[in-house]
Amino acid sequence: MLKNKEKIIMLIDMQSFYASFEKAKMPQYRNKPLAVAGDPAKRAGIILTACPLAKAKGVQTGEALWQSLQKCPDLIIVRPHMQEYIDVSIQIKSIIEEFTDLVEVYSVDELFADLTDSMHLFTSDPIDLARQIQDRIYAQTGVYARAGIEETKVIAKLATDLIAKKIDGGIFHLKKEELHQHIGNKPIRDMWGIGSRMEKHLWKMGIRTIGDLARTPLAKLKRKWGVNGEVIWRVANGIDHSPVTVNTHSTQKDIGNGMTLPRDYTVAWEVEVAMLGIYIKTCVHKGSNLLILWRNNIFQVV
C-alpha cells in the first residue's frame, strides 16, 4: 500500500492510435512505414496519423500526403475507418475499467484513470500496474499504450507527453517534487496548453522553458492574460485539484460537422450548397426533424 494513501492517477495514451490499429489488423505491415490519410486524389489527402517508422522518416501529422510521399516514397497509405477507431477506443476504456471504475475519457486515444483505491488489488507498484494495463490493452487490441503517473491529472499528462512517449517501455512516474528536475528545461512550446501564438508572447517576456514559466510571478501572468495566465502557470507548476470524472462526455452538448472542399469555391451558390450539406448532415446526426431555410445569406433552423 502506498504511504498516506497517495493518489495514483494515470494518463493512458495510445501510440499513433489509428496507425497502430491498422497495423494490428494487417500484420504484414508491422515493420513498414504506414500512415492513415484521406483520399490522395482529393484535398482530403492529409496525414491523420503516422506510425513511428513513418515519423522517423519525417512524416508529420497534418501535412499533405504528397509531401509525406516525397520524404518516404515507400509509405503505405490506409484510408481511415473512424467507426472502428471509436469501437476500439470504447474497448480500451472497458479494459481500463477492469482496474478501476474511475476512468475519464479525455480524447479518442487518451484516458485518465484514478487507481488510488484499487491498486492494492493488483500490485503495490504504480509502474507495475501501468505495465499490466499496457500489456492487457496490447494483448486485446494490438495497440501500444503509454502512461504517465502522478497524483494529479496535469502532472500525469505532462509525464506522458514529455517523458513516457520518448522512452523505452512508455511508462514514467513523475513525482511532484522532481517535476522541474525532469521537465524544467523543456521548451515552453512542449507544454500542454501552449500554442504557437502563446509561445511567441512568452518568448517576448523572456520565458523560453517550462521552468521559466513556473518561476514567473503569478501576478505578472494574471495581469497579462487574466485567468488564462493563471492556468498556464498552474500547469507549469503541476497544480491541479480536478478529480478524474466519470462519464464526462455522456451527455452530448455540441455537434460538429465539416467537409473538405475538392477545390476552391468562388461562386456563392457553391458555398451555399456545401453549407446546406453540412447543416443537413448535422440535423440527421441529431435525429431531429428540422426545416432549414436559406434567407438573406443566413441559414435558419425552424
d(CA 146, CA 14): 6
Query: Cβ distance 217 to 237 under 8 Å?
Result: no
d(CA 218, CA 68): 42
**SS3 for 78?**
strand
| Catalytic residue (choose from 110, 150, 151, 272) | 110
Instruction: Name which of 58, 97, 75, 57 is nearest 19 in CA terms.
Output: 75
Residue with cell 467537409: 259
Instruction: Name which of 133, 123, 71, 65 is nearest 99 in CA terms.
Output: 133
Query: Cβ distance 19 to 50 under 8 Å?
Result: yes
CA distances from 166 to 36, 111, 219 (A): 22, 19, 34
Assess whether 110 carries a catalytic annotation.
Answer: yes
d(CA 264, CA 109): 33
- 275 burial type by CB count under 10 A (0-12 exposed, 13-18 middle, 19+ buried): middle
Active site (catalytic) residues = 110
